[in-house]
Amino acid sequence: MIHTDIPAIRDQFPIFAWHRQENLPFVYLDNAATTLKPTPVIEAMHDYYSNYSSNIHRGLYPIAVRASKAYEDARVKVQQFFGAAHPEEIVFTQGTTAGINLVAAAFAGGLLQPGDEILLSPMEHHANLVPWQQISAHHNLRLRFLPMDAAGNLQLDQLDTLADFPIKLIAIVHISNTLGHINDLETIIAWAKQRNIRVLVDAAQSAALYPMDVQQLGMDFLVCSGHKMYGPTGIGVLYGKKELLEQMPPYQSGGDMIKKVGLYSSTFADIPHKFEAGTPPIAAAIGLGAALDFLQTLNRPQWLTHLDQLTDYTIRQLREIPGLKIMGEAQKRSHIISFTLQDIHPHDIATFLAQEGIAIRAGHHCTQPLMQHFDTGASARASLSIYNTQEDIDALIQALHHIQSFFNS
Ligand code: PLP
Delineate the domains of the chain, giving CATH numbers in brackets: 6-30+299-408 (3.90.1150.10), 43-296 (3.40.640.10)
In this structure, how many other beta carbons lie within 10 angstroms of the beta carbon of residue 409? 5
Q: What's the pLDDT at 168?
A: 98
Pocket mutation for ligand 1, best pick of 177, 334, 338, 361 (most atoms within 8 Å of C-beta) = 177
State which ligand 1 atom lies nearest to the alpha carbon of 174. 3
Pocket mutation for ligand 1, best pick of 123, 175, 205, 370 (most atoms within 8 Å of C-beta) = 205
Biggest distance spanned by C-alpha atoms of the chain: 74
Q: How far is the CA of 204 from the centre of ligand 1 (A)?
A: 5
The residues facing 223 across adjacent strands are: 202, 238
Q: How far is the CA of 55 from the centre of ligand 1 (A)?
A: 28
For residue 272, whether the previous peptide bond is cis, meaning omega lies within 30 degrees of 0, is yes
Cα torsion angle, 290, 295, 296, 297, sign: positive
For residue 147, whether the previous peptide bond is cis, meaning omega lies within 30 degrees of 0, is no
d(CA 324, CA 337): 12
Q: What's the pLDDT at 95?
A: 98
What is this structure's pTM? Answer: 0.97
d(CA 361, CA 338): 9
CA dihedral 28, 34, 39, 42 (to 10 degrees): -140
Beta strands 221-225 and 198-202 are parallel
d(CA 370, CA 376): 9
Stretches in the chain below the pLDDT threshold 70: 1-4
Active site amino acids: 366
Q: What's the pLDDT at 1?
A: 54
Q: How far is the CA of 294 from the centre of ligand 1 (A)?
A: 22
Q: What's the pLDDT at 259?
A: 97
Q: How far is the CA of 29 from the centre of ligand 1 (A)?
A: 16
Angle formed by the axes of helices 62-82 and 282-297, to 10°?
A: 50
The residues facing 260 across adjacent strands are: 267
State which ligand 1 atom lies nearest to the alpha carbon of 98. 16
State which ligand 1 atom lies nearest to the alpha carbon of 176. 3
Answer whether 99's CB lies under 8 Å from 314's CB: no
Nearest residue (CA) to ligand 1, atom 4: 204
